[in-house]
Homo-oligomer: A and B are copies of this chain.
Amino acid sequence: MTKERKPKNVFKEGAISSEFIAESIAKHQSKTSIGAHNIFLGQVRADAIDGKTVSAIEYTAYEDMANPKFHEIRETTFSKFNLTCMHIYHSLGTVKSGEICLFVFVSSPRRKEVFKALEYVVEEIKAKVPVYGKEIFEDSTHQWKVNS
């Protein structure tokens, strides 16, 4: 891929709405070389831990490192897979349980590519991007989220 892509700000304040996702899908209808889209959505779970229930996650990030890391992941993914486009959005701040905190969207002429690419991107984000989730319980106590 020779086309140059500029680093974008991946972060959005608060939850990612279903309307935002719909607009993003609709924008791709003019790209008629696309045959397959694959979308990953991370949703905040109301996990019960020691009798207390998670009511929200508060996300913070080392943004100066996270945005370049997201960009690096984008570039590597474009070089590994035949994708037409890719979009990544991650929440910062408070996201309530049931709301969406991560939106990854890949598109390609062929379906085999999007399956491989999407899983790659999501795993890379989890492993390489300095984002922190603070699980807030209903009684306002908290614990730091650990990815599994």
Interface residues, chain A, with chain B CB atoms under 8 Å away:
18-19, 21-23, 25-26, 28-46, 97-100, 107, 109-111, 114-115, 118-119, 122, 148
Contacts and interface: CB of A to CB of B under 8 A. Distances in A.
B37 A41 contact: yes
Contacts of A45: 32-35, 109
Q: How many copies does the complex hold?
A: 2
Contacts of A35: 42-45
Contact of A29 (B25, B33, B40, B98): B98
B22 A46 contact: no
A32 to B, nearest CB: 4
A33 B18 CA distance: 18
A36 B29 contact: no
Contact of A43 (B18, B37, B118): B37
A98 B41 contact: no
A135 B75 CA distance: 34
Contact of A41 (B19, B31, B39, B41): B39
